[in-house]
Amino acid sequence: MRGDAARGGPSDGAFIELDRVEKVFDVRRRTGFLKRERRRVRAVDDLSFTVARGETVGYIGPNGAGKSTTIKMLTGILTPSGGRLRVAGIEPSRERTRLAQRIGVVFGQRTTLWWDLPLVDSYRLMHRMYRIPDARYRANLDRLVEHLDLGPLLDTPVRQLSLGQRMRGDIAAALLHDPEVLYLDEPTIGLDVISKARVRDFLRELRDERGTTVLLTTHDLQDIEQLCSRVMVIDHGRLMYDGPLAGLHEAGESERILVVDLDRELPPVDAPAPARVVKVEGPRQWLAFPSSVSAAPLVARIAAEYPLVDLSVREPDIEAVIARMYAGQGNRAASRPPTSIA
Ligand SMILES: Nc1ncnc2c1ncn2[C@@H]1O[C@H](COP(=O)(O)OP(=O)(O)OP(=O)(O)O)[C@@H](O)[C@H]1O
Ligand SMILES: [Mg+2]
């Protein structure tokens, strides 16, 4: 089904290319009666990377980092404020319709399906919208229904589907026209463990058997662990890390984070090595320490010496990995450290 001769991409193998891409939003905020404040939000800032055909890349970062903005530019929904962007040799915002034939998108937070129609009717509409040849449509639908276990759901209106069912429905919708690249913006958000596993299994198959290029945004480190060999970390619109999962995995596995709430804003606490403060935000401080070490002595020390109000211990997650990179531990962290992290 793939690989028509007419579908050539750039010859150098870079299927997605960003060169110094920027996206600035002008935001107007009401600050009082008849008072408005204008603010510029630099959602994506000097972002450059390439993704080769067939790669599955994790695209991660904290809330507001610029991930969804990047994906919207890659689909042509948003036009970059600066820089150069190409997908399959196409400039997305200029040739959005032509590009649509070659890409699939799933926004976990928002469905692309018709809310009031039975699932299968959405697929029929896509069949026509994308002008998918009948035989190919039927073959793809059969395959997707089987692999995503959608058979019993086809006649159910989308609004009656559970989140996990709806997500599987959305993934099928994104793939009916055989896109060469699939953007997944938090496809596992809100799913239970079993639904997550099912989605991951399917994506693994897609990658291995069909060679689809996948850009995956998620806050779930396990999604990345199970699907991606390469990870890009973005924060404040900038690329902070681009490399193999191994580096990130190691950093994420080896440390836990103690989050302490003090009764007021204080300079970073004096933590006994190897524990160290990786982030301060008001009265809250984050301390990283090796996973193999007990948190008890560290907690006791801070409780004895500081006005401790509350605490929690977090297992490694993406945010912790990122915090650790900022602390200068990540060997590929970009040169400019973000200013909001102490
Ligand atoms: N349409 C818009 N108008 C104004 N500001 C926007 C718009 N879309 C995004 N932003 C801002 O751009 C920044 C990046 O947002 P974006 O949605 O790309 O983050 P994200 O990395 O996807 O975060 P999350 O993990 O929460 O989904 C944020 O500061 C956000 O408030
Ligand atoms: Mg987002």
What is the domain partition of the chain in residue ranges?
5-236, 253-326
186, 218 Cβ separation under 8 angstroms: yes
Q: What pLDDT is recorded for position 219?
A: 83
Q: pTM score, two decimals?
A: 0.75
Ligand 2: centre distance to CA 65 (Å): 8
Q: What pLDDT is recorded for position 330?
A: 41
CATH 3.40.50.300 fits domain 5-236: yes
Pocket test for ligand 1, best of 42, 69, 223 (most atoms within 8 A of CB): 69
- Is the Cβ atom of 27 under 6 angstroms away from ligand 1? yes
Sheet-wide strand order for 255-262: 276-281, 284-290, 255-262, 308-314
- Is the Cβ atom of 218 under 6 angstroms away from ligand 1? no
Q: Peptide bond before 274: cis, by omega within 30 degrees of 0?
A: yes
Domains 5-236 and 253-326 share a fold: no
How far apart are alpha carbons 253 and 290 in whole angstroms? 9
Q: What pLDDT is recorded for position 247?
A: 73
Question: What are the mean pLDDT values of the chain's consecutive 10-residue runs (342 residues total)?
Answer: 42 83 91 83 95 94 92 96 95 94 92 94 95 95 92 96 92 95 91 86 90 91 87 91 76 74 95 90 92 86 95 75 60 38 30
Fold of 253-326: Alpha-Beta Plaits (3.30.70)
DSSP-assigned beta bridge partners for residue 214:
56, 182
Q: What pLDDT is recorded for position 276?
A: 92
- Is the Cβ atom of 43 under 6 angstroms away from ligand 1? yes
Q: What pLDDT is recorded for position 340?
A: 34
Q: What pLDDT is recorded for position 57?
A: 96
Q: What pLDDT is recorded for position 14?
A: 86
How far apart are alpha carbons 229 and 208 in whole angstroms? 13
DSSP-assigned beta bridge partners for residue 41:
25
Please tell me the number of the ligand nearest to residue 219's CA.
1
Q: What pLDDT is recorded for position 251?
A: 53
- Is the Cβ atom of 68 under 6 angstroms away from ligand 1? yes
Ligand 1 atom nearest the C-alpha of 68 is 22
Q: Which DSSP helix (H) or strand (E) runs through 149? A: none
Strands (E), 64-185: 82-87, 103-107, 181-185
